[in-house]
């Protein structure tokens, strides 16, 4: 690990100012960044820890939305989202191990946009809004590919606003060692629409399965998914599974999620 300075600002404004300096990088939960630094794959001259900013933590239900601060840990989401959004709470409760859940944050996960991360599927399927230090980004424009988002240099995620669906479920087929999603599917049912997002499977990162959304809007049943071809995406092929295997998993997990939600 290379040497770096660590600053702990108490406000979002101070953090943004610190990040304006050359080679400064934000530090959220550190579950990805710290191993990256240890492996010397990154060498920022300064880390700007966001843990001292109280305004970035916590959950609140506001009308039909669940608003979650970017520095809220997975463990907190798993505990406090059970009543307003049980599917999201269940997703958070199955991320990593207890240490990861108590250190990792929703904002850090979204900013990193790992192709196998769980939260991006929930954000995309529900059409959530990512609020940053500079603007508001719709889910469809926030995710731009593997490890790539619309965030600009020095821009910090403040909160995520989730529309609360009438029914939702996350099905995850995880890789046993990492507990990342080999493939994961989040299905969110609203009064007038259905969102389906797949993570862990595509070379382009998380994606919406539009054909499944259209089919489920017509008939919300597992049979509607069985009648479809697998997602037309460039799927990941590695030692854990072939591209065809992941495409098949996406279809199977979507049907299971729909069955779990019910008619």
DSSP letter for each residue of 64-104: TEEEEETT-BHHHHHHHSTTT-HHHHHHHHTSS-HHHHHH-
> Does the pLDDT value for residue 147 go beyond 70?
yes
Average of pLDDT values for 46-62?
93
> Does the pLDDT value for residue 263 go beyond 70?
no
Question: CATH topology for 55-163?
Answer: 3.30.465
Digit-coded pLDDT (tens) for 94-125: 999 999 999 999 999 999 999 999 999 999 99
Asked if the domains 55-163 and 167-261 are classified in one and the same CATH topology, the answer is no
Q: What percent of the chain has pLDDT over 70?
A: 99
> Could you give the CA distance from residue 243 to residue 146 in angstroms, rounded to a whole number?
16
The CATH number fitting domain 167-261, selected from 3.40.1160.10, 3.30.390.50, 3.90.1170.30, 3.40.47.10: 3.30.390.50
DSSP letter for each residue of 239-256: TTB-HHHHHHHHHHHHHH
Q: Is the pTM of this model over 0.75?
A: yes
Other residues' Cβ atoms within 10 Å of the Cβ of residue 45 = 13
CATH 3.30.43.10 fits 5-49, yes or no: yes
Average pLDDT in the chain:
93
> Could you give the CA distance from residue 144 to residue 139 in angstroms, rounded to a whole number?
10
Q: So where are the chain's domains?
A: 5-49, 55-163, 167-261
Token digits of residue 222: 């597992």
């Amino acid at each position: 690990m290379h040497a770096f300075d660590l600053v702990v600002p108490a406000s979002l404004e101070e953090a943004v100012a610190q990040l304006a300096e050359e080679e400064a990088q934000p530090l959220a939960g550190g579950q990805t960044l710290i191993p990256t630094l240890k492996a010397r794959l990154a060498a920022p001259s300064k880390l700007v820890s966001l843990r001292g900013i109280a305004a970035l933590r916590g959950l609140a239900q506001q009308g039909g939305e669940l608003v979650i601060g970017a520095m809220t840990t997975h463990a907190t989401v798993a505990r406090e989202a059970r009543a307003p959004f049980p599917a999201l709470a269940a997703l958070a409760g199955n991320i990593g191990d207890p240490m990861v859940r108590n250190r990792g944050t929703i904002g850090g996960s979204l900013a990193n946009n790992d192709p196998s991360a769980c939260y991006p599927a929930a954000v995309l399927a529900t059409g959530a809004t990512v609020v940053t230090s500079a603007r508001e980004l719709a889910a469809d424009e926030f995710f731009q590919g593997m490890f790539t988002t619309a965030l600009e240099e020095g821009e910090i995620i403040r909160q995520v606003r989730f529309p609360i669906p009438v029914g939702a479920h996350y099905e995850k087929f995880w890789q046993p060692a990492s507990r990342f999603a080999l493939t994961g599917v989040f299905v969110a049912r609203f009064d007038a629409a259905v969102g389906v997002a797949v993570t862990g499977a595509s070379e382009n990162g998380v994606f919406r399965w539009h054909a499944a959304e259209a089919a489920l809007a017509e008939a919300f049943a597992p049979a509607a998914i069985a009648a479809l071809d697998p997602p037309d995406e460039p799927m990941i092929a590695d030692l854990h599974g072939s591209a065809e295997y992941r495409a098949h998993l996406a279809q199977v997990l979507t049907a299971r999620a729909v069955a779990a939600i019910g008619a």
